[in-house]
C-alpha cells in the first residue's frame, strides 16, 4: 500500500490546498457528524419516495429532456439508466491531479447531507483517496450545465469497476485497478448515481488548480521583473508610493509595495533613459490589475468549494425536495475566462521582458541573444522562439468560453455556461505561463554570465544566486528545455 500523508476531514471547509494534497494518497475522514447528516438526508429521501404524489427527479423519472417519462422500476436498473447513456466522452484522459481533485470536490458536496445519497457512497469515495486509484476520465463532453455529467459518469463507472482507471500510474480496466488498490466496487441506486454526476466538481477543481498555478506565476513575474530592473540598473521611481496611491487601484498599490521591498537597497546605474519601456515602467499597473482580477477569482473558487452542486436537494427540517439549478457552472466559467485573460497578459509581459533582455539596443549593451560568442553561439535564441510560440498558443486559446452558450438536450439545457471548457483551458494555459516565467528566469541568469551587473539589492541577489545554483551558464550552446522547466519549478518552490 502507498504511504498516506495527512488527512482531510469532510466535516471541515474544503480548501484549494486540499485539492493538491488529493493528488497523492491522503486520508479522507468521514466523522460522526458527516455520517449523521448524510444518513438523515438519505432517510428523508426514503420517506419522500413512499409518497406517490411526490416525484423526485432521477429517482422516479427519466433524465434531462426525458424527465416527463418514468424511470426504471428497479433501483439498480435506475443507476444504469443514469450512467449508460452518458458514456459519450472523447479525447485524452484528464491529468490525474484534476480527476482526483474533482472527486474530492464531489464527495465534499455529497457529505453535506443535502443530496440524499447512501452513506456507503461517501465512505467508498473517501476510501479511494488513500490509494493511487484514479478514474480514466475523457477530456471532452461536458457543457458544465447539469453538472459535469459525462466526465463524472466515467469517474462513477470506474468506481463501479467499469471502464478504465489507473492504479500506481498504470492504465488498466477499472475492475483490475480497484482490485490492485484494495477497493470494493461501489453499488449505487438511481439517486446515488445521479448525485455523483449532477455537479460541477470537475469545473470547480480545474478552476482552483489553475488559479493556484497562475497565482504562483504572478508572484514569479513580479520577482523576475524586479531582477530585470536591478540587472539593468533602472531607476525604480516608477514604483514611488505616491505615484501608485494616485493611481488608486488596490492591486497596483500592493504589487508596487512588494516590488519596492524586493528592490530595497538597489542602486540605479544612472545610464538608463528617463523613462523605461512599458514592460518595466507599467509593470506595477499591469501586475496590479492581474492581482485585482485574481482576487475576484479567489472569491469564486472559495464559494464553489463550499457549494452543494446537485439537483434536487433535500432539506429534512423543512420536508422539502428542492428542484433547481445548483449544478450550473456559470461562476467558474466567468472566473476561468478571467484567468485566461490574466494569463495572456502575464505571459505577454514575460515574453516582452525577455525580448528586451536579448536586444543589445535596449539591454545596456549586452550581446545579442545573450550569446557568449555571437554567431558561434546563439544563447537564448531558441528559447525566445519558443516563448513566442507559447504566447501565440495562449492568445489563441483565450477566447472566452463562458458566453459561448449553445442549446442542447431538446432545449431543456437551452443555456449552458461551458465552464468545464473554460476551466480546463485555464489549467492548460497556466502550464504555458509557468514555462514563460522559466524562460525569462533562464535569460536573467544568462545575462549576468555575459556581462550584466550583479544585483545591488539583497532580495534580487538572493533570487539570482538560487538561479545560478540551479542552472549552468549557456556557454557553449546546449538544449535549454530542461533548464526552463527547472527554473519554473524553482520559482514555484522559493517564492512565497
CA distance 463 to 447: 14
Query: In DSSP terms, which residues pair with 138 in a beta bridge?
Result: 93
Q: Which residue has the cell 472566473?
A: 335
Q: In this structure, are residues 352 and 391 in contact, taking their beta carbons and an 8 Å threshold?
A: no
Q: Which one, of 361, 363, 356, 355, lies nearest residue 386 by Cα? A: 355
Counting Cβ atoms within 10 Å, is residue 297 exposed (0-12), middle (13-18) or buried (19+)? buried
140 among known catalytic residues:
no
End-to-end CA separation in angstroms for the chain: 33
CB count, 10 Å around CB of 377?
18
Out of 57, 154, 166, 427, pick the active-site residue. 57
SS3 397: helix
Rg (CA), the chain: 26
Beta-carbon contacts of residue 455 (< 8 Å; ≥ 6 apart): 227, 230, 231, 266, 461, 463, 464
Could you tell me how far CA 29 lies from the centroid of its own chain?
24
SS3 313: strand
Over the range 150-161, which residues count as b (16 or more CB within 10 Å of their CB) and which as e?
A: bbbbbbbbbbbb
Residues labelled as active-site residues:
57
Amino acid at each position: 500500500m502507498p504511504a498516506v500523508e495527512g488527512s482531510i476531514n469532510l466535516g471541515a471547509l474544503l480548501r484549494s490546498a486540499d485539492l493538491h494534497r488529493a493528488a497523492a494518497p491522503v486520508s479522507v475522514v468521514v466523522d460522526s457528524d458527516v455520517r449523521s447528516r448524510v444518513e438523515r438526508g438519505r432517510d428523508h429521501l426514503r420517506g419522500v419516495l413512499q409518497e406517490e404524489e411526490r416525484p423526485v427527479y432521477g429517482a422516479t423519472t427519466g433524465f434531462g429532456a426525458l424527465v416527463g417519462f418514468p424511470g426504471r422500476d428497479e433501483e439498480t436498473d435506475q443507476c444504469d439508466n443514469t450512467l449508460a447513456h452518458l458514456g459519450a466522452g472523447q479525447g485524452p484522459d484528464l491529468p490525474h491531479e484534476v480527476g482526483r481533485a474533482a472527486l474530492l470536490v464531489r464527495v465534499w458536496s455529497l457529505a453535506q447531507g443535502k443530496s440524499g445519497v447512501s452513506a456507503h457512497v461517501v465512505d467508498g469515495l473517501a476510501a479511494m483517496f488513500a490509494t493511487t486509484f484514479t478514474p480514466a476520465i475523457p477530456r471532452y463532453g461536458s457543457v458544465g450545465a447539469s453538472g459535469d455529467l459525462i466526465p463524472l459518469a466515467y469517474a462513477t463507472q470506474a468506481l463501479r469497476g467499469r471502464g478504465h482507471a489507473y492504479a500506481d500510474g498504470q492504465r488498466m480496466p477499472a475492475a483490475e485497478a480497484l482490485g490492485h488498490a484494495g477497493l470494493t466496487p461501489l453499488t449505487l441506486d438511481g439517486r446515488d448515481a445521479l448525485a455523483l454526476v449532477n455537479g460541477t466538481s470537475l469545473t470547480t477543481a480545474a478552476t482552483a488548480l489553475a488559479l493556484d498555478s497562475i497565482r504562483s506565476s504572478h508572484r514569479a513575474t513580479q520577482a523576475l521583473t524586479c531582477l530585470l530592473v536591478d540587472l539593468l540598473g533602472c531607476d525604480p521611481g516608477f514604483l514611488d508610493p505616491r505615484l501608485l496611491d494616485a493611481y488608486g487601484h488596490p492591486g497596483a498599490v500592493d504589487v508596487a509595495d512588494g516590488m519596492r521591498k524586493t528592490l530595497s537597497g538597489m542602486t540605479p546605474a544612472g545610464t538608463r533613459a528617463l523613462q523605461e519601456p512599458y514592460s518595466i515602467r507599467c509593470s506595477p499597473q499591469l501586475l496590479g490589475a492581474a492581482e485585482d482580477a485574481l482576487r475576484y477569482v479567489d472569491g469564486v473558487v472559495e464559494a464553489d468549494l463550499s457549494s452543494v452542486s446537485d439537483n434536487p436537494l433535500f432539506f429534512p427540517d423543512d420536508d422539502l425536495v428542492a428542484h433547481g439549478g445548483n449544478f450550473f457552472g456559470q461562476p467558474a466559467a466567468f472566473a476561468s475566462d478571467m484567468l485566461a485573460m490574466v494569463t495572456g497578459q502575464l505571459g505577454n509581459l514575460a515574453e516582452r521582458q525577455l525580448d528586451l533582455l536579448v536586444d543589445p539596443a535596449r539591454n545596456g549593451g549586452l550581446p545579442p541573444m545573450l550569446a557568449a560568442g555571437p554567431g558561434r553561439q546563439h544563447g537564448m535564441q531558441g528559447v525566445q522562439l519558443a516563448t513566442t510560440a507559447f504566447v501565440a498558443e495562449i492568445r489563441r486559446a483565450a477566447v472566452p468560453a463562458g458566453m459561448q452558450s449553445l442549446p442542447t438536450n431538446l432545449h431543456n439545457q437551452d443555456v449552458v455556461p461551458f465552464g468545464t471548457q473554460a476551466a480546463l483551458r485555464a489549467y492548460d494555459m497556466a502550464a504555458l505561463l509557468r514555462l514563460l516565467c522559466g524562460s525569462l528566469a533562464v535569460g536573467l541568469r544568462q545575462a549576468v554570465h555575459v556581462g550584466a551587473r550583479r544585483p545591488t539589492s539583497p532580495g534580487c541577489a538572493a533570487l539570482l544566486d538560487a538561479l545560478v545554483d540551479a542552472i549552468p551558464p549557456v556557454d557553449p550552446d546546449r538544449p535549454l528545455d530542461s533548464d526552463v522547466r527547472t527554473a519554473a519549478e524553482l520559482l514555484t518552490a522559493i517564492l512565497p
